[in-house]
Structure 1
Amino acid sequence: MNKKFVGFIIKRYLRFDKKHPFIYISFILAFLGILTGVATLMIAMGIMNGMDREFEKKLKVMNYPITVYSSLVKVDKNTLELLKKHFPKFKYSPYIETSAVIQNGNSLNGVLLYGVDFKKEAEINYIFKNALKDIKKVDVFDVVVGKRLFGDLGIAKGEKIIMIFSKITPLGFGISPLLKKVRVISYFDSGLVAYDKGIAYMNIKGLKRILHQDYYSGIHIYTPDPFKDIEKIKKILPPGIGVIGWWQQNGNFFAALKMEKRALFLVLMLIIIVASLNIISSLLMMIMSKRKEIALMMSLGASRKEIKAIFLKLGLIIGIFGIISGTALGWFGIWVLKTFDIVKLPADVYGVSRLPVELSFIDFSLIITGAFLIVLFASIYPAVKASKTDVLETLRYE
């Protein structure tokens, strides 16, 4: 194949032809369509990834990487010592879980109460650690509540409230709910309303006294690689003790996000597919207009392979140039969204006030590969069509 000949013809065909302006308008539309499709896909997938990572970050902290919990067998100090013996580098925060009602004046607020060792909990939960930043001393019956609940209670730090526990105590011939005055020393801000309004933490020593419970509801574990370590933990624990990872606790939520991401990718990829149809129509129109010229080149010695290469490369040039321009525009759009506060989000709804954008290498590769394959397939048919031009039929009456 004569590469110089193919290159010369491609350069000639890329020039504007006054006789057939619609062909070049169609080329420009195809280029703009691919550019828009690639840029839109990059920005959209970047936003989806950013939001996914933000939600994952919030849920990972409040749900913890791995949780060991009582199922058929109780979790106690022996369980904790067993875990520390086999995995000394992991961080552990044993907890007692119960439900309670906070009474302040005439208002009642239900919460999920965790009794934790404040020091150990702060080591694996940076949101809780931030809440204890200015706290120097923690008493037995001290409580940390969520920011939203703290605001609803209308109290100041250090004030006492009444906490009504779900456990009941015998009183004469009847029963009475268990009440205790506790001190609210601070509040945490997770950025998620469900947590900030419905979760509270109490000193585990105080909760043990109130509930008369010497065993744990479970143990929160921090590990750098929970996906692998969860199987190791399961092997050393006796049957009847449950082990669950943060991703399993929110499996349906992340499955829905993944499906939404795939659907968005496919829908936006249609923009590139539509743009590729313009490449097909443009090349076919050019083949029809240059039919005699193609037949003449073939009669003078040009091979069908060379004719096919001319139109295949012509389509690829338009498509690849559109992909490169779209990539540049997409990265610029991502940079603008990251640098400037163009889009503001309600923090109480999304857990973040600034639009998070993060395009992963895998998604970027899929976008570029998908766009290139679409352009390639769109260029093949016109190229094959051009190579099958009948020389005798075309030049018979010329």
Structure 2
Amino acid sequence: MLNTATLSKFLIKRYLRFDKSQPFISITAILAFLGVGVGVMVLIVAMAIMNGMTKEFEKKLFVMNYPLTLFATSSKGISEKVLEALENKFPDLSFSPYLRIQSVARANGIMSAGIVFGVDIQREAKINEVFAKALTKTNISDFHKNKFSVIVGEGLKDLLLLQNDSKISLFFTKLEPTGLTFSPIMKRFDVKGFFDSGLKAYDTSYIYTNLSAIAAIKNIDSKTYDGIHIFSLKPMEDITKIKQALLEIPNYGIGIEGWWQQNGNFFSAMALEKRALFIVLMLIILMASLNIISSLLMVIMNRRKEIALLLSLGATSAEIKKTFFWLGNCIGIGGILLGVILSIIVLYILATFPIISLPADVYGITKLPIDLSLTDFFSTIIGAVIIVFISSYYPAKKASNIDSLSVLRNE
């Protein structure tokens, strides 16, 4: 009785050797090995880049799009009592109230439209790292001495040719009567600092000033807000809790939305693109696995007499099937391991050396972002292993169905 494990190992080693009499069979196996390896490498690298780009865009969107935002659904706004109640109920969250108004900025004979946010300087700095970084280069006492002080983006600075302590005139959409007509309110502000979000759209259109300044321009109570920005580490969980809390707090109408709701279409499109790319690149591994099938079938056709002889000597069909199944798996899994090693090398090179540079004015970054998630990695490995197993099974099944008597009689 033949030892199954010994027989399988012997045959696998024998059939994996380069066959000088039939070099095309060995070359096909090598191509299958390399094809699976390259396919796995490309898929892992592509998923790492896609995931990195998604995380980078998400990070950029968080610059001016906060995890959670409360907004007033009526003209009465959000009162300070609501803010105090939420702060007491959720001490682990950070809140920053704001007032917002559209305006046209004018300086040095140049004009640009934008949005002015009135914020509590200290509160905003806790949840907006870009704003906090700008404050480190600014004397905060200036804001307390002169409530009509502003921080503008680097884009607006370049557009309006601004410097520190420059004067900037803001024309607001709120109108006031002047004689027989209405004119927009105009107010001169002192430029006290500049922020750089890395996104041109924000840097040219966002302006920050004190809450009291915008309250005076809108002629409302400084303790009434247009909305409240909220920083949360678990916004998808906290949004439900805050909604429930708002039901218990007397208010005139307050809505809440998360960052994923504000940019849902964008991230849905990126997720769809990532899935499509995964499927397309997985086809590379599938095509490479066809070489496994063809290589095994050629080995089987070339070794028909050996297989028939083994069957006549007592080897079972299950043993023959197992041998060729693991022969194909050795080629395929070896290719997968090669792909993993190559992907690690490629990702290290891309992350360490500036081989691929990105235009900063388009992406806000110059270095290609790399972030390989464990989910993407194991999905690639599991998908590749399944393809290799399926590709190895059919030839192994064909080998086990060989009629030994017919082969030995005719050949």
- TM-score normalised over the length of structure 2: 0.95
Larger mean CA deviation between 268-277 and 9-18 belongs to: 9-18
Q: Does 1:354 align with 2:367?
A: yes
1:172 to 179, 199, 204: 179
Q: Which amino acid aligns with 1:99?
A: Q
1:221-240 matches, cutoff 5 A:
221-238=230-247, 240=253
Pick from 108, 111, 115 the counterpart of residue 112 of structure 1: 115
Match of 1:358, SS state, is coil
Displacement of 1:36 after TM fit? 0.5
Is 1:192 the counterpart of 2:204 in the alignment? no
Q: Name whichever of 126-135 and 272-281 sits farther off.
A: 126-135
Q: Deviation per CA, 1:174-201, whole angstroms, max 9, x where unpaired? A: 1111000001111111111111112111
| Contact 2:172–2:186 (8 Å) recurs in 1 | yes
2:83 is aligned to 80
Alpha-carbon separation, structure 2, partners of 1:326 and 1:316: 15
Alignment of 1:65-214 (within 5 A): 65-72=67-74, 74-136=77-139, 137=141, 138=143, 139-214=146-221
What SS class does the counterpart of residue 183 from structure 1 fall into?
Answer: strand
Instruction: Report the secondary structure of 2:31's partner residue.
Output: helix
Aligned mates of 1:158, 1:255 — CA distance in 2: 43
For 2:242, the aligned partner's letter is I
Counting aligned pairs with the same residue, the percent is: 49
- Cα deviation, residue 103, structure 1: 1.0
* Paired residue secondary structure (1:237): helix
Shift of 1:327: 0.1
In 2, Cα distance between the equivalents of 1:44 and 1:370? 15
Aligned residue runs from structure 1 range 1-398, under 5 A: 2-72=4-74, 74-136=77-139, 137=141, 138=143, 139-214=146-221, 215-238=224-247, 240-398=253-411
In structure 1, what is the Cα distance between the partners aligned to 2:278 and 2:199? 27
Aligned with 2:78: secondary structure? coil
For residues 347 and 237 of structure 1, the distance between their equivalents in structure 2, rounded to whole angstroms, comes to 41
The alpha carbon displacement at 1:366 in A equals 0.3
Q: Offset of 1:241 from its aligned partner?
A: 0.9
Is the 8 Å Cα contact of residues 108 and 161 (structure 2) preserved in structure 1? no
Count how many residue pairs are aligned between Structure 1 and Structure 2.
398
Give secondary structure in 1 for the equivalent of 2:136: coil
Matched residue type, 1:297: L
Q: Is the deviation greater in 303-312 or in 85-94? A: 85-94
When structure 1 is superposed on structure 2, of 232-241 and 387-396 the one drifting more is: 232-241
Q: Over the residues paired in the alignment, what is the CA RMSD in angstroms?
A: 1.1
Unaligned segments of structure 1, at least 5 residues = none
Deviations 1:223-265 (A, max 9, x none): 2211111100000114731001111110001001101111111
Q: Which runs of 4+ in 1 moved over 3 A?
A: none
Cα distance in 2 for partners of 1:121, 1:127 equals 10
For 2:271 and 2:372, locate their aligned partners in 1 and report how far apart those are by CA, in whole Å.
15
Moved more, 132-141 or 304-313: 132-141
Contact 2:307–2:320 (Cα < 8 Å) also in 1: yes
3-state DSSP class of the match of 2:18?
Answer: coil
Q: CA deviation at 1:61?
A: 2.8
For 2:241, the aligned partner's letter is: K
Distance 1:70 1:50 in 2: 35
Q: Counterpart amino acid of 1:94?
A: P
Amino acid at match of 1:32: L
SS of the equivalent of 1:227 reads helix
Question: What SS is found at the alignment partner of 2:103?
Answer: strand
**TM-score normalized by the length of structure 1:** 0.98
For 1:223 and 1:160, locate their aligned partners in 2 and report how far apart those are by CA, in whole Å.
Answer: 36
Question: Alignment partner of 1:186: what SS?
Answer: strand
CA displacement at 1:134 relative to structure 2: 2.1
